[in-house]
Amino acid sequence: MFELLPESAGSLACVRLSGKVTDEDLKAVLPKLEAVIADQGSLRLLADIEHFDGWDWVAAWDKTAFGIKHWDQIEKLAVIGTSRWEALCAAVADKLTKADVKFFSPDQKDAAKAWIA
């Protein structure tokens, strides 16, 4: 499941990914994220992946295409997760993208929200 959370406002989009995300899940949310970019000019994204189990291959491809298309319009990305692998991915993304990317553990959700704001 991939859901847009009600805390989203302005250029801030808060999303929760849980279980295995399908292309249907992704296609339900991506237009909303693209609308934020069209309206605000950029996107700050808080992604809670604490209960995320991965992407189906079509969703992974579409997610990558979204990231490439909006490469320079994503300002910040706060990732809330539980594994060292997720923290490493966030650190690599911080170096490879224009966005500021930071990883937070589940007990740091308030810090993540403050940082992304």
pLDDT score, position 17: 96
Per the structure, how many domains does the chain have?
A: 1
- Residues of the chain with pLDDT > 90, as a percent, come to 97
In the chain, the N- to C-terminal Cα span, in Å, equals 24
pTM of the model: 0.93
pLDDT score, position 89: 92
pLDDT score, position 56: 94
pLDDT score, position 58: 95
HEC-encoded secondary structure of the chain: CEEECCCCECCEEEEEEEEEECHHHHHHHHHHHHHHHHHHCCEEEEEEEEEEEEECHHHHHHHHHHHHHCCCCEEEEEEECCCHHHHHHHHHHHHHCCCEEEEECHHHHHHHHHHHC
Tens digit of pLDDT for each residue in 20-31? 999 999 999 999
For residue 10, give its domain range. 2-116
**CATH number of the domain that residue 29 is part of:** 3.30.750.24
Tens digit of pLDDT for each residue in 38-95? 999 999 999 999 999 999 999 999 999 999 999 999 999 999 999 999 999 999 999 9
